[in-house]
Structure 1
Amino acid sequence: MQVYSFIVPKDALESVVITKAYVLNNKLYHDDQNIYLVPPPSAKPEIIIEKYRKVLAPGTKETFTVSVKTDKQNIAAQLMTGMYDAALDKLASHQWNIPGNRYFNGHLRDGWSRRINDVNHNYYPWIPNKGFNNQNEFIDEYEADAMLQQLSGHVAGLPITPMSDLDSEEKLLQGIVAGFNIADVPRYVTTGSTIVVRGINSLVENAQPLIIVDGVLYAGSLKDFDVASVTDAMVLKGADAAAIYGSKAANGVLVISTKGKILLPAPPEPQPMVRKDFSETAFFYPKLYADINGLYTFSFTMPQTATAWNWKLLAHTKSGLFAYAERKLNTRLDLMVQPNMPRLLYQGDEIVLKSRISNLDSAAMDVKFSCKIEDAVTGEDLTAKILKEPALKVIKVAGKITETAGFAFKVPEDQLNPLTIITNVSGGGLADAEEHTLPILPKKAFMRKQVPLAFSKKDTLVQAPKLPDDADLYGLSLYVDSKPQAALINSLPFLANYSFNCSEQVFNKLYARITANQLMRTQPELSKSFKIGAQQVSDTTERKLPDELTEAAMPWLNLANQTTKQQKQLYQVLDTISNKSIISSHLEKLYAMQDFYGALPWFEGGKSNIWISNYVLRGFGKLNQQGWESNDYQKHSNFIRRLISYTDSSYITNNTYDNLFVPTRGHSGKSNTPLVLLSSKK
C-alpha cells in the first residue's frame, strides 16, 4: 500500500483533484480522484431576522431588518425575499428549496472513487418543513388589548346650599365635584381665587379649565354664576376630555348642568380606512445587499387584505453556501368585516352577500353593519334601488367571536356599468370597511353568423340573415375577400422593414425588395396602381394640423392611421428606383458578415452558424431560379462560392447534420424538400 501525504491549501474551495500516473507493461495509466472539501458546521450561514412584527395592520408601512451570520458574525451575502398570501398555498404549494450544495449534502457524489475510504460527515442538513398553519381564524391567536376606559368623575346626589359670598360659592363646587380645588395663588399686582383641576402643581399662568354650562361654553367669571342653579356637575381630564371637546380641553373640563342630570355629547363615529388593495404579493426583492452595518433593511406597504402571509428568505454567500428562513405573519384588525364577494354579476342576479364580522376584542359589542352600492362609472348611489332590505343592521357580536350576516339585493335588468359595493362595520370605537368593484355582464351571448353572398348582377339586394326569435341584431358588416395575390403584396412591407439586422433578416429584406421589383415588371395592374397611389400618399403626407399630437400621446390614432401607414409603406417597397440602392446596401451587409471560413453568423461578429448559412444559401438559390442576378457579379459569385464551400465541408465532417439545406424538419423524419443547386457562370 502506498500512502501519500499532502496539505490542502487554505484558500481551496469545493474540491481538490489528485491525479495519479504510473507506467505498467510499457503503458502509461492515469487516474483522477476528486476530494470534496467539507467546511466545518460553523461555516454554515444563518439568516437572523432582527426586526419584524408578526401581527400587522392592513395597509400599514413597515420596515424589516435581516442579517446573515456565520458563527455569530455578519457575512457578505446576497438576499432574496418575498411575502405572499398564504391562501395561495392551498391552490399550489410554494417551496423555496436550497439548491444542491455539495458542502452540506451529507455524502460524496457518484464521481468519488471507491478505492478511497468513505468520509463521515458530522453535519447533516435539516430544513424544517412546516405545514401550512391555517390562521384564517384570527380570534384564537388574538392578544387581548385593554378595554376602552369609561368616563369617570361624576359625583351625584349632594345637596346645594346657597352661600352669601362668592368665595364660599366656589368652595361649594369644591365639595361637589371630585378633583376640583380652589387655591389662592399670588399675582404680581393682586391675589384672587384660581380654579385648578387635579392639583395645584398643574397650574400654569392663566391656564384655566374649560367650563361647559348646559352644553354651552361658559366664557364668563364664576363670580357672576348662580351656584344655587347647579343640579349636577363633573370634571373631565386627559383623554376623556380631549375625546369630546378636543384640544381646548388640555387643562381639563368642568361640566355644569342647571337642568337636571348631565348628558355628555356622544363621541364621533370612527371613520374606517376603506380597504381596496387586495394584492396577493406584499413584496418581492430578488437581490438585496447589506449596508455598512451588515444589515438588510427594506420597507414596504402591506396590502389591505386581512389574512395570513408567508414570508420566505433565501441567501447565498460568495463561496456558494445557502441559508433559508421563513415566517408566518398576519394582518388583522380588532374589528373586521370580510365579505364573500363574487368575481362578477349578471344582469338580473339575485344574491345574498354574506360577510364575516370578527370581533377580536375581549368585550362584546353592538356592531353597526351597513352596505352601500354605487354605480362605478357615474357615482350614483343605487343602495335604495338595489337592496331588498334596510341598509343598516345592528348585530350583537361577543368577544373573540366571528358572526355572519348579509344583505339581499338584485341587480337591475338594465344595469350595464360595474357596481361598487362597500361593506362597513363600526362599534366600540372601532371600524372597518371593504370596497369591491364588480363587473356586470349581460345575460345574452354575442354570436356571429357569416352568410356567403354571390352577386349575379351589378345591383344586388342583400337580405339580412334570419335570427332566432330571442336574438337582437347588434350590427351588420359586409366585406369582400381579398385575392391571394393581394395578401402576398401587402405582406412585403412587414418583411422589408423588419426591425432586426441579423443575417437571416437582412436577406429577408433583400428578398422582399427583389420580389417587389419583379412584381412591378411583370404585373401591369400593379404598376398602374403604384402611379395612382403615389399621388394619394403625397397628398396624405402634406395634410397635417399645426398642433397635431403624436400617436404616442393618443394611441387610438393607430387604428385610424393604420391603413394609411400600410399604403405608404407598400408604396415605398414598390418604388423600384429606391430599391436599387437598398438592395445593394443589403448585399454589402451580407458580404461583410461572411467570416474567414465562408460562413455567416446569426448576428454580426458572432460565431459561424451552419443553419443561418444554409438558410441564406437556399434563399439565393431561389433567386437564382427566378433569374435574378447581382450587379456586381464577381463579388457575389465569390460570396456564393465560399458559402457553398463552408456548407459542403460542414456536411461532410459532421454526420449529425442531415439534409442541411432544409431550415426546419418535423419530428417524423426528413423533409422532402429538394436541395437547391447553385452554379457559377464561366
Structure 2
Amino acid sequence: KWNEQILKTRQSFYNYRYNYEKRKTFSTIIFTDRAIYRPGQTIYYKGIVIENDSSTRSIAKKYSTTLSFMDPNYQLITKVEHVTNEFGTFNGTLQIPQGLLNGNFQLTTPDGSISISVEEYKRPKFMAELKPFNGNYRLNDSVEVSGKGVAYSGPSISDAKVTYRVVRTPIWRGWWWMPYKQTSVEITNGKTITDENGEFKIKFKAIPDLSIKENDFTDFNYKVYVDITDINGETQSDSKSITIGYTSLIVDVDVPNILNSNEKKKYNIITNNLNGQKISASGKITISRLEDVQNFFRKRLWTKPDNFYYTKNDWKSKYSGNEYDGETDISKLKVLNKVFSYGFDSGKEEKFEIKDLSNWEPGRYVIEINSIDSFGKPVINKKFITVYSESSTILPFATQFWYASVKNEYQPGETAKFIVGSSYNNANLLYEVEHKSKIVYRKWLKISNQQTLIELPIEEKYRGNVSVHFKLISYNRVYSSDATLQVPYSNKELKITFETFRNKLLPGQQEEWRIKISGPKGEKVAAEMVATLYDKSLDALKANYWGFNVFPYDYMNLYLSPDLFSYQSSNQIIRNYKSYPEMPYQRYDALNWFGFYYYNNYYGYNRSADGKGSKRYRYAAKPAMAMAGEALEEKEVEASMISKSENKKNVQESDKAIADTTPNEQGIDSRTEGQANIDNVKARTNLNETAFFYPTLMTNENGEVIVKFTVPEALTTWKMLGFAHTQNLEYGLIDNELVTQKELMVIPNLPRFFRENDKMELSVKISNLSEKLLSGNAKIEFTDAITMKPVLGILEKNEDLKSFSVNKKGNTNVIWNISIPQGVNALSVKIVATAENFSDGEESVVPVMSNRMLVTESMPLPIRGNSSKTFEFKKLLESGNSSTLKSFKYTLEFTSNPAWYAVQALPYIMEYPYECSEQTFSRYYANSLATFIAGSSPKIKAVFDSWKNTPDSKALLSNLEKNQELKSVLLQETPWVLDAQDETQRKRNIGLLFDLNRMSNEMNVALKKLEKEQSANGGWPWFPGMPESRYITQHIVSGFGHLQKLKVVDYKNDDKIKTMVENGVDYLDKRIKDDYDYLLKHYTKEEMQKK
C-alpha cells in the first residue's frame, strides 16, 4: 500500500474459497438399532432429513425420499418409499435376506447413507480387560501387569486360563527420530489363572535392546497380549502397551505460551509416567525474566549454514537487521532474575497459581520445572512464555509483528479482543474479518512501536465460527496472523436426563423410564425421540455409534501467499551420475497364514548419486496353499447346514422387537418356594439382541418421554442410545447401560452348529452372585426343534442330571459328554439348574449339519399315449451295494405335455435387456411362438388368461415349491431353489406374454428393428455400427427357417421377411465363397484335405 493505493498482483495472493451459493440441498442422517446383524434378522431404522442452505439448517417436512438396501457388492436388495413427518423423520424395518454374501450392507438415500455389518457370529459372554499401567518403571525393572475377566452379566470370570506374551519395539522421541531397525521381538510368554475375583497379575522384566545406545530420548514399547479362556471354553483377548525408557518421569505445567497478565487462574502440574498415567512427584517450579533485546532481527528463511562465509561484523554491515546466528532463538536469551518460585507435591496438590501476575512487566519469561524420578534421576523441563497486558500499549518484546487473542471461544453478545502491535514506525496493518468465506469487514491500522487493542462484537450470525486476519508488510517481508474464533451452536443443544433409571434388572422384567428433555435455557420443549436398547456385547464385534452434526462450522479459507518479493534461480553446470551397484534380493519360503497374509512383497530401488530413484523392483511370493480340511471343510459345513434345516426361523435367535410382543408382567423371578423342582424350572428363551427400538417417542405436557418395555431374558449388559430433536432442530444425545442378572445363572457355551456323529464335551458355566455357597443339580434336555419330540441317545450313559457346588461370588462348570445323532435337522438344548431357593435355565436351538452330501440322479421316462413301456433305473438298483450311500427320497414326476416346460422359457427370451441384433430377433422369435401357441387352441389361451388374472393362484407355483417334502433341505438356500423361483416367475409372466395385442405390437417393433439393422450386403452386425457378423446372420436366418419349419410364419407370403431372409442367405453364400477362394489361394489340395 502507498498513498492509499493498493497493489494486488496474481503472484501475491492464493485465494481458496468454497462456493456458498444460495441453493438448497438435503442431507439424511440414519440411525439403526445396532451395528451388526445375522442373516435373516430385522433391521430397525430411523432417518431424519435436513434442509441445507448457505447459512441455516432446518428439518424437511413432507419430503419424499427412497431408502435403498444394498448388499456388499452394492447390488439392490429392496427399496422403500418414505415421506417425512412434521419432525422431518421417517422409519421402518428391513429383513436381511438369507444366502447373500456377508459383509458391509448399506442403507442409502439420495442424501445420505449408513453402513451395517451382516455376519455369522456368536455373542461374547465376557470381556478381557487389562488395567492401565500404574507406577513408575525404568528399563530392566520388573513390570507388573494386572487384568480382569468380567462377564457382561456382572460375575467375575474366576478360575479361567490366561496365556500372555510380551513384545518389545523401540521408540525414538523427538523430531529427529529415525525408525532404524524397528524390529518387534517377543521377550517373554507364559500362563496363569484368574483368582476368585476374576483378576490376574503378570510380571515381566523390561529388557532393553542392548544394540541401541542408551540416551534420554530412546524408549521401548512393551505390548502385552492376553487371552482369557473361561471354564466353559470361551476365549476373549485384550492388549495394552507400556512405554519404558531410561527416564521414567515427565513433568510439565499447562501455562499457555502467551499469557495475559490480567488472567487469574490456577494451572495444572503434570507429573506423568511415559504412558501418560498420573504419578506422584515433588519438585520446584521457578519462573525467571529474560533479557529485553532492543534490536530485533528478521528470521532466516533457510536453515543456518554449517560454515559461515561472512564474519558477524561483515554480515551486520551488509545485511543489518537480518539474523546471523540464532539471534531470534528465545532459548539463547540471558536470564535476568527469578520472579516466581513454588515447591510442589503433585500427590497432595495438582494445581498452582501464579501470584501477583498483574504486577509483572510485559516480556518473555522461562518456566523451569525440576523434579527427581523415583529412581533418583533428575528430570528438568523448560518452557518459554510471553507475558502481555491487554490494558497496556507496551510491546512485550521488540518484534516486527505481535498478535495475541484474549480467548478463543465466544457466545453471541460477547466481545472478542485481540492485541496486535509492531516495533516498526508507521507500520500499515490490514485487519479483516472473514465469515462464510467472505471478507465482511476490512480496516487499515497505523501502528508505531506499540501494541493496540482491537474489539470485535460477536453477533448471532457468527454462530459456526468467524475468522480474523492481520497482515503487515515491511522491508519486503510479509508478516501475518490468522485465527478462527469458536462460536458454537449452544442455542441448539437439548439437555436430556434420566429422571428414573435402574441399572440392574431381572431377565424378562418390565421397566419404565422417565426421560426429561429441556431446551438450551431449561425450558420445556416439544421433541421427538428415537431410543434403542441392545446387547452391549455386540459392540465388541462392531460398535454402534449415533452422531449428529449438521450445523456448519466454518474455518478460514482466505490466505495470503507472499511470494511477490522472492526470486530464485539456479543452474546445474556438471552432471556426473554414478550408479550404485544393484543389491541382490533374497526370497524365502513364506509361512501359511491361513488366509490372513497371502503375499510377501519386497521392494527395492537402484539409486544414482543424485538420490533419484531410477529403477523399481517388486517381488511377490506365490499365494500360500490352503491347508487341507480347513477352509474347504468349513464351506462344506455351511452347505450341509443349508441342506438339512427345515425351518430357518426355528434355528436362529429371534430378533423381533420387544415392542411387538406381549410382556410377562412378573418377569422371571430367581427365587422359588422352597427347594425348586428342577422339572418345573422355566428356561429363558427370549434371547433377543435388541430389546426395543422406538423411533417416534414424543414428549408429554411436562417435557418428559415415557419409555415402557420388557427386557429380554439374555444375561448381559444392555446399552441404551437416544436422540431427540425439535422442529427447530434443537437436538441432544444420551446413552446409558443396565445389566440383567440373577443370583444363580446358567451360562452355556453352545456352538453355532452341531455336526452329525460329533462326539464332544458340552460345558455349562454356573455363576453364583449370592453371599453363600450353593449346592444343587443341573439338568440338560434335547428336543427335536422341528417335531418338538425328545431326542434320546445323545447323552453318554443317559446322565442328564449332574450335581454341582459353587462358592459365593464364584463360578463352576458342569460337563456332559454328548454324541450328535443322524437324521435330526435342529436340536433344542434346554439346560436348567436349581440350588436351594434359586433357579435358572436357558434354552436355545442349534442347527445340526449333515456330514453327507445330497446327490440327485434323474432319468427321463418318455412314453407315447395309449402305450406302456418298462424302464430300469440301474443306479437305484446298484445303490444297495454301497456301504455309505443312504437313500433319501424317490420321486416320480409326470406331465401329459412336456411342451408346457418349454413355454415357460419364453418370457426369459422376451426380456433380454440389450438392443443387439441377436436379442432383438429372440424377442421376435418368442412373440411369434407365443402367438402361434395361443391361437392354436382356445383352451390353452383360456389357461394363460387365468394365470394373468390370478397371479397368486396355486397354479402359478413352481413344481418344486408345490412339493412340500423338499422343505427339509431348505429350498430357499439351495442352488436349485433359484431355478424354482425363476420357474414360478416365468409362469407368472406367461399370462402377460400371451396377450394378443401386446404380442402383435412387440412382433412389429422387433421386425422393423431387424429390417433397419440389416446392412446393404444382407448381413447383420452384433450391435448397430459394428461390422456385419457371420455368426449373428446365421443365427437370425436359421431362426426364421425354424419358425418356417414349425409353420409359425410363412416368409414366402411376407415380403419383409422374404427380403431379409434372401439378402441374409446371399450374404452367407458370399462369405462361404470367400472362404473357399481363400483356401484355394493359400493351400494345396493335400493341405486342404488335412484340414
Q: TM-score, normalised by structure 2?
A: 0.32
- Which has the larger helix fraction? 1
Give the number of the structure with larger relative contact order, counting CA–CA contacts within 8 Å between residues 6 or more apart.
1
Which structure is larger by alpha-carbon Rg, 1 or 2?
Answer: 1
Q: TM-score, normalised by structure 1?
A: 0.48
